[in-house]
Structure 1
Amino acid sequence: MTAPLPSRFHDLVPATLRRAWATEGHCPDLDLYALFRARRIADPHATAVIDAGGEVSYAELDHRARCLATGLAEAGVCPGDVVGVQLPNTQEAVAADLAVAALGAVVLPFPVGRGGREAVSLLGRSGARAVIAASAHRGVEHARELAGLSGELPALRAVIAAGPGPVPDGCLPLADLLRTDATAFTPARPDPDTAARILVSSGSEAEPKMVAYSHNALAGGRGNTLAPLLRDGIRPRCLFLVPLASAFGSSGTAVTLARHGGSLVLLDRFTPDAALEAILAHRPTHVLGVPTMVRMMLDRLPDARETPAGLTALILGGSALDAATHDEARRAFGCAVVNLYGSADGVNCHGGLTGQSAADDHPDSGPGIKVGRPVPGVCEIRIAPLPGGAAGEPGEIVARGPMTPLCYVGAPELNMRYRTAGGWVRTGDLGMLDADGALRVVGRLKDIVIRGGANISPAEVEGELSSHPDIREVMCVGVPDPLMGERLAACVVPRAGRKPGLESLCGHLDTRGLERRKHPERLLLVTDELPLTPAGKPDRAALRERAAAEFPSDHAQAV
């Protein structure tokens, strides 16, 4: 029986368009568990997941998922219910994804490391009926914390504790649910255009945004994003350095396993040494992470016992990748380096395996970052002019296509702000389309620094500074100023043994032709690494706070 679509997951894309995308073959038009089950039947002994606990086959993973689905049903989870999952990258997290899908319920993964208050906000606004959380992870007892806060969640029926050690009061042990008898379990068959997963995005709001995705949008639209990066006839073997519970990590269970029949290689926590060891030990075809992670790995490579080989691609998202790091990574790892532009809000674009933009081979002097041509099977992209904007200037990137999410969850004001007539999504990103149809991303509307009434795009300045010989990594943020409103601060991770100064940075920007009103006026040297959010993205907000503390506005001097 088709599960009813809860009203809180109202699809803001016209149904005729959804059906047209499925008819045109852009979506498999099956629910995620059915797709996975077909892979399991076709090749039951193929490796599905590799983590710190070892390898698990498709057949073994399917058995765990069906047992867990039975246990969740006995705990009161019904089709259409939301189930929160706060687990590290493990086999249990993947089994939870599949079990919830098999029930016809909706999974809400969010990374370990998010505090109890934020977790309660996500679970409360989504109306979650159950949550599976780690008993203990890196010193944090997530399950115990959530059980203690369950009184604030009237819809919550069960807190399920995963992991070794004593089961906290008020929790059900995941181990017991996994031991249930699943022989009589019958999977649900939800409409593939109904909600399957809620992606959590940090965004600029006071609380994280939640975005509901259908089975077709995940396996179809997001699956089509990965498809051009696969080699014909070779099963993908994807090492995820980012959390599976992040928006980027949604390409794990739903895409790598269910859509493409590959294998997942998982780290429960990223470190550059662990990542390099996993590449050498498990020989993945693809590594998915963020540019900061690759820079950290490149710093360790001179001390590595072996050089990584056999990779098809490094797939990097979350922030723009500078040309110097791109070229260094391509040489060091011997594979394509793909900078993926995308967000949980419903947009993805990249240049494919042959769309590399190495500065040595394909000099590119255009504005922003060239990220490739939009693909109809993923999403169509348009540029909406900004108020008062002139012809040819960047505008806001808007997108619509098979990967477009249903709606924002628990936040009708976000649907009003970011969704337009006909199902288009306002991304909040600035960009433009080249004459050949390629998309250039110039920056974020919300990141614009306004200095004395003039707009400065931090992304533009970061792109120019990234080629400075003393800089390993850079992010620019605005700091308050009583005279100018804001001034631009460059937060720089220097290369080993280097200590760039502000004068050197500005001189470099002069040679690059960047007008002086856009030059940074403050320099914050970061001696370790740029901070990352729990989802693995560079934490611009944390840097903004750090820079503001380092350069208090009452000490700012006019320049």
Structure 2
Amino acid sequence: MTVALNDLLPAELRRAWAVDGTCPDLDLYSLYRARQIADPHRTAVVDAKGKLCYTALDRKVRCLAAGLSGLGIRAGDVVGTQLPNGRDAVIADLALAALGAVALPFPVGRGRAEAASLLRRAEAVAVVAATEHRGHRHAADLLELAAELPALRTVVAAGPGPAPEGTVALSALLRTGPAAFVPARPDPDSAARILVSSGSEAEPKMVAYSHNALAGGRGNFLASLMPDGQPPRCLFLVPLASAFGSNGTAVTLARHGGTLVVLDHFTPEAALDALAAHEPTHVLGVPTMVRMLLDRWAEGHRPRFAPPRAVVVGGSPLDEATAAEARRVFGCPVVNLYGSADGVNCHTGLSDEPLRGDGPGIPAGHPDPRVADIRIAETGAPELREAPRGRVGEIVARGPMTPLCYVAAPDLDARYRTADGWVRTGDLGVIGEDGTLRIVGRLKDVVIRGGANISPAEVEIELAAHPLVRDVVCVGVPDALMGERLAACVVPRGTAAPALRELCAHLEARGLERRKHPERLLVVAEFPLTPAGKPDRALLRERCAAAPAPDPLAQAV
């Protein structure tokens, strides 16, 4: 065992969910093996190399597990993985589960400093990284950092291309004889995976999840989108190494015996072609990706495809105009997923019609206690006190998907976890009389203009309804007079870009008070994306700050 990963949820709750069947109470590899035995020739993974069935995948998993065991990796060890979407990422996930080790995946494209921070704080003993991917040479970069990482003993390089000197080639480990390998069968309530979330901290947060929390809590989320109970075929547009992507190996394969369809690099053309070629039942992406698909469709890239069961959108809410367009183009429901690595999940379901109703924010569906019980707590109170129904407060969650703890961050545990296991999300929401959760914004994600707080999420929701706006992100930019001013970063719908005065007039008509109107406008063809596939707010903030400021006399004070 390397870093301590203690469960902050009462043990009797964990056991109760296992006893009543809410969680499967098996480790991820045992769940996968049961699926492989039940249907050995079912396709497990479709990637750039083709198809891989459950039996062929299992053999590769056992080979890698045996090879890693020969390198001294044991149950409880943390092992990082930085791999593009594809079979190697899935093989590594399952091999580490079979060893009882703890996987720490993070997407390709993350820089050396951030990768080193993750591996150092988690006390990772090894890392499996891409030799080369789209100009990044992660294996060589991480090998150079090994001297700064006292726990790191081994860098495994995954092809194509020769492994850098000093690393171990993944291809060699995959040739290890698997006959003598015996799976570890770890406790289902022990750590299986560490999810990485940038959140609002100075360094990316790391959150430890158990086998039961992944296959049980997160598995129950996907099960609610499978009314016929048939194994799903999930097209993942997001990285499997992201928090959203944790619904891949652990949930789609191990829990539900389905098929993963993955692209090693997202482009809207490749995603539309994959829809046609592989007929997924579920498509999982973030709103920016969905908008890019719709734009390419409108431009004429229109392969014929069978409608999927659902398009599942997470990371941030999809505005209603785009959701309606997506329902028309894809011919299926669009599910808005509210969730985070911190341990909260709620979604709008498979209804053909979006949730409506009066109230602030965006509807996120009805909380499912088989995934996460969600309540609204009074803000500012030192102890957790539930707010009256209908009042806005902080969203707190506790349930089968609740993580064990933050990794190597007792300060985050103290700030965001209660003594009885509730997770403080830092999000603002309200639960109406009909039980619908509505997301209002974030406690910390505010722009402070002259001492007054502005929620970017609130402004984004209203601007997304403008007919010339395809996508929008609002950020705060430094200002010598007011401290911060709000900037709207806009991807226009079509060739005509809206002017700032038009956006403000739109907000005025929708009843948003003037102090919340943006005072800067940045128009871009597409948003820059983080390695996890979300709009890169930090880079957009830098671009807005670097752009010439309007005449200060023209800005309302």
Q: Which of 308, 312, 320 lines up with 1:311 in the alignment?
A: 308
The offset of 1:450, in angstroms, is 1.8
2: CA distance, partners of 1:486 / 1:394: 25
Task: Report whether the alignment pairs 1:220 with 2:220.
Answer: no
The offset of 1:307, in angstroms, is 3.7
**Preserved contact between residue 68 and residue 178 of structure 1 (Cα < 8 Å):** yes
2: CA distance, partners of 1:436 / 1:110: 38
Question: For 1:229, what is the secondary structure of its paired residue?
Answer: coil
Q: 2:335 maps to which residue?
A: 338
Q: Which of 49, 57, 62 lines up with 2:58 in the alignment?
A: 62
Task: Report whether the alignment pairs 1:519 with 2:517.
Answer: yes
Cα distance, 1:156–1:7 mapped onto 2, change above 3 Å? closer
Cα distance, 1:233–1:11 mapped onto 2, change above 3 Å? closer
Of 142-151 and 541-550, deviating more is 541-550
Q: 1:542 maps to which residue?
A: 539
**Preserved contact between residue 272 and residue 303 of structure 2 (Cα < 8 Å):** no
1: CA distance, partners of 2:68 / 2:87: 17
Of 511-520 and 321-330, deviating more is 511-520
The offset of 1:482, in angstroms, is 2.5
2: CA distance, partners of 1:369 / 1:39: 38
List gaps (5 residues or longer) in structure 2: none
**Preserved contact between residue 82 and residue 130 of structure 1 (Cα < 8 Å):** yes
1: CA distance, partners of 2:369 / 2:352: 17
Q: 2:93 maps to which residue?
A: 97
The offset of 1:312, in angstroms, is 0.5
**Preserved contact between residue 307 and residue 332 of structure 1 (Cα < 8 Å):** no
Question: For 2:364, what is the secondary structure of its paired residue?
Answer: strand
Which amino acid in the other structure matches residue 399 of structure 2?
G
Q: 2:370 maps to which residue?
A: 377
Of 31-40 and 487-496, deviating more is 487-496
**1:321-372: CA deviations, max 9, x gaps?**
1000000000000001001000000000002111741xxxx65442101001
**1:420-470: CA deviations, max 9, x gaps?**
120111111111111111111011122111222222111111111111111
Which amino acid in the other structure matches residue 417 of structure 2?
R
Which amino acid in the other structure matches residue 12 of structure 2?
T
List gaps (5 residues or longer) in structure 1: none
Which amino acid in the other structure matches residue 144 of structure 1?
A
Which amino acid in the other structure matches residue 501 of structure 2?
E
**1:170-211: CA deviations, max 9, x gaps?**
100101100001011110111100000000111111211110
**Preserved contact between residue 355 and residue 372 of structure 1 (Cα < 8 Å):** no
Q: 2:500 maps to which residue?
A: 502
**Preserved contact between residue 356 and residue 363 of structure 2 (Cα < 8 Å):** no
Q: 1:366 maps to which residue?
A: 359
**Preserved contact between residue 491 and residue 527 of structure 2 (Cα < 8 Å):** yes
1: CA distance, partners of 2:554 / 2:124: 50
**Preserved contact between residue 241 and residue 266 of structure 1 (Cα < 8 Å):** yes
2: CA distance, partners of 1:339 / 1:447: 21
**Residue pairs, 1:199-348, within 5 angstroms:** 199-302=195-298, 303-348=300-345
The offset of 1:531, in angstroms, is 1.8
TM-score, normalising length: structure 2? 0.96
2: CA distance, partners of 1:495 / 1:325: 11
Q: 1:451 maps to which residue?
A: 449
**Preserved contact between residue 431 and residue 443 of structure 1 (Cα < 8 Å):** yes
The offset of 1:553, in angstroms, is 9.8
The offset of 1:15, in angstroms, is 0.5
Cα distance, 1:147–1:6 mapped onto 2, change above 3 Å? closer
Q: Which of 177, 181, 193 lines up with 1:185 in the alignment?
A: 181
Q: 2:402 maps to which residue?
A: 404
Question: For 2:224, what is the secondary structure of its paired residue?
Answer: helix
1: CA distance, partners of 2:157 / 2:537: 33
1: CA distance, partners of 2:3 / 2:553: 51
Cα distance, 1:122–1:179 mapped onto 2, change above 3 Å? same
2: CA distance, partners of 1:70 / 1:86: 20
Task: Report whether the alignment pairs 1:394 with 2:392.
Answer: yes
1: CA distance, partners of 2:352 / 2:345: 15
Question: For 1:423, what is the secondary structure of its paired residue?
Answer: coil
Q: 1:415 maps to which residue?
A: 413
2: CA distance, partners of 1:321 / 1:11: 34
2: CA distance, partners of 1:364 / 1:295: 25
The offset of 1:272, in angstroms, is 0.4
Task: Report whether the alignment pairs 1:88 with 2:78.
Answer: no
**Preserved contact between residue 365 and residue 436 of structure 2 (Cα < 8 Å):** yes
Cα distance, 1:556–1:191 mapped onto 2, change above 3 Å? farther
**1:22-45: CA deviations, max 9, x gaps?**
122210000000000000000000
**1:197-249: CA deviations, max 9, x gaps?**
00011111121111000000000000011111114143200000000000000
Of 427-436 and 544-553, deviating more is 544-553
Question: For 2:162, what is the secondary structure of its paired residue?
Answer: coil
**Preserved contact between residue 318 and residue 538 of structure 1 (Cα < 8 Å):** no
TM-score, normalising length: structure 1? 0.96
Which amino acid in the other structure matches residue 311 of structure 1?
P
**1:282-338: CA deviations, max 9, x gaps?**
111111000100100101113124343231000010111100000000000000100
Of 380-389 and 152-161, deviating more is 380-389
The offset of 1:418, in angstroms, is 1.1
Cα distance, 1:66–1:285 mapped onto 2, change above 3 Å? same
Which amino acid in the other structure matches residue 349 of structure 2?
G
2: CA distance, partners of 1:168 / 1:554: 54
Which amino acid in the other structure matches residue 278 of structure 2?
H
The offset of 1:113, in angstroms, is 0.3
Which amino acid in the other structure matches residue 266 of structure 1?
V
**1:350-408: CA deviations, max 9, x gaps?**
02111741xxxx65442101001110111111111123999754211111100000001
**Preserved contact between residue 482 and residue 553 of structure 1 (Cα < 8 Å):** no
